[in-house]
A and B are shown apart, each in its own frame.
Chain A
Amino acid sequence: MRDVTLSELERLGVEAPDVDATFQMDEEAFRLFYDRTARPVWAYLARMTGDPRLADDLLQEAYYRFLRARATHDDDAHRKNYLFRIATNLAHDARRRPRLDAAALVDAAGDAADPRGRDVAGDTARRVDLGRAMSRLKPRERDLLWLAYAQGSSHGEIAETLGLKTSSIKMLLFRARRRLAALLREHRR
């Protein structure tokens, strides 16, 4: 569809919609929510896609979709789960274009030295191993493991985020964990 021109807007007398009515929260509430969630969501997107620049784009898209959604949330935890659900779907769509590159992601995090002064070379090697192992897992397994062990989400929260039954999470997580543990041991040998 062609772009809308300014003269068309004037002719139509179209006024800018009230964003508070368009979005599900006002700017102040959004700022608070964003400051709490942006970094973890970016980390999730970066690990799931393996591409930090793509994660930047998807982050903006995730928050836009979140704001435009007509969903109602009981509390902040549900709101966060919903945001992660949007991020998961975006990462799944992006994964159709193969991009997982463990080294690129480690490079992106390379300049952020651990303040506790740990073994940087060892950490980098472990993260490269993790990236390679993760790239050999199914997308759903990656999501499950990240949410459970990086985000620390409960089974109920994981089920809500991934649109699965809570009862099935235990078994799915067991299988995914078993696979990743085996891959990590394989890489370390």
Chain B
Amino acid sequence: MIECPREADVFEAVAFGRWPAHAGAELQAHVAGCEVCRDVAAVAPALHDDRQALVRASHPPTAGVVWWRATIRARAEATRTAMQPITLWQGVAAASIVGVIAALSGGLWQWIRTTDRVGALVGLFVNRHDAAAFASVGLEQAVFVLLGVVACLVLAPVALYLTLSDD
């Protein structure tokens, strides 16, 4: 048996504070002999009293405070949602800058290769007998490479900062 028709009577007696002293001898006798009602009589008063104590002890914030906090949060969320397209376009702009820098670096590299400046530099590295020629020609060629490196290391972060900055 998982239920008893008198279960509701026991719970009602608990809920209205009549259990066990003022519940009546007949109901008490029934509970003593009914397994289901005995469990209800063991569990219900404990939970009922616990709830009463917790409700008395609770100090929830006022409705106004909860409403105000909810309003602030809803507005922040709405604003964040409105900002999403902007964030997307900022991402696209950043990706474009990276692409342009990559393309410029590739072009620079191609230019160096086609004009055989790398070969001249490598030749100078291999044949170090002429130190003066290495210094003059090597430094002259390195200027182009340095310009590319500066573009990547300095200009790219500055461009990214300007694109993604808040103001």
| Residues of A in contact with B (beta carbons under 8 Å apart) | 1-2, 4-5, 7-9, 12, 14, 16-17, 19, 22-23, 27, 30-31, 34-35, 38-40, 42-43, 46-47, 52, 56, 59-60, 63-64, 67-68, 105, 108-112, 114, 123, 126-127, 129-130, 145-146, 149-152, 170-171, 174, 177-178, 180-181, 184-185
Task: Tell me whether B40 is interfacial, beta carbon within 8 Å.
Answer: yes
Among B14, B39, B40, B58: residue with most chain A CB under 10 A: B58
Q: A59's closest neighbor in chain B, by CB?
A: B60
Q: Is the CB–CB distance between A12 and B83 below 8 Å?
A: yes
Q: Is B48 an interface residue (CB 8 A)?
A: yes
Total A-B Cβ pairs within 8 A? 148
Residues in B with CB closer than 8 Å to A110 are 57
CA distance A85 to B29 in the complex (A): 38
CB B48 to nearest CB in A, in angstroms, measures 6
Partner pick for B82 among A12, A108, A123, A129, CB 8 A cutoff: A12
- Assembled-state Cα–Cα distance A121/B2 (Å): 34
Chain B's nearest CB lies how many Å from the CB of A15? Answer: 9
Contact yes or no, B67 A27, CB < 8 A: yes
With both chains docked as a complex, state the minimum distance between the C-beta of A173 and any C-beta of chain B, in angstroms: 9
A22 touches B74 (CB 8 A): yes
- B residues 63-111 touching A (CB-CB < 8 Å): 63-64, 66-67, 69-71, 73-76, 78-80, 82-83, 86-87
Dominant SS at the B interface? Answer: helix
Q: Are B60 and A38 in contact (CB under 8 A)?
A: yes
Counting chain A CB atoms within 10 Å of each CB, the highest count among B11, B15, B46, B49 belongs to: B46
B residues lining the A interface (CB < 8 Å): 2-3, 11, 14-15, 36, 38-40, 42-44, 46-58, 60-61, 63-64, 66-67, 69-71, 73-76, 78-80, 82-83, 86-87, 166-167
Bound CA–CA A38/B55 (angstroms): 9
Complex alpha-carbon distance, A35 and B64, angstroms? 10
Given A4-B80, A114-B56, the answer on whether A145 and B71 have CB atoms closer than 8 Å is no
Q: Which residues of B contact A145 (CB under 8 A)?
A: 43, 47
Question: In the complex, which residues of chain A have a beta carbon less than 8 angstroms from the beta carbon of B2?
Answer: 170-171, 174
- With A7-B167, A22-B78, A109-B54 in contact, is A67–B70 under 8 Å at CB? yes
Shortest distance between the CB of A102 and any CB in chain B (Å):
10
Do B11 and A46 have beta carbons less than 8 Å apart? no
A4 touches B47 (CB 8 A): no
Residues of A within 8 A of B73 (CB): 64
B49 surroundings in chain A (CB, below 8 A)? 123, 126-127
Chain B residues, CB < 8 A from A14:
78-79, 82
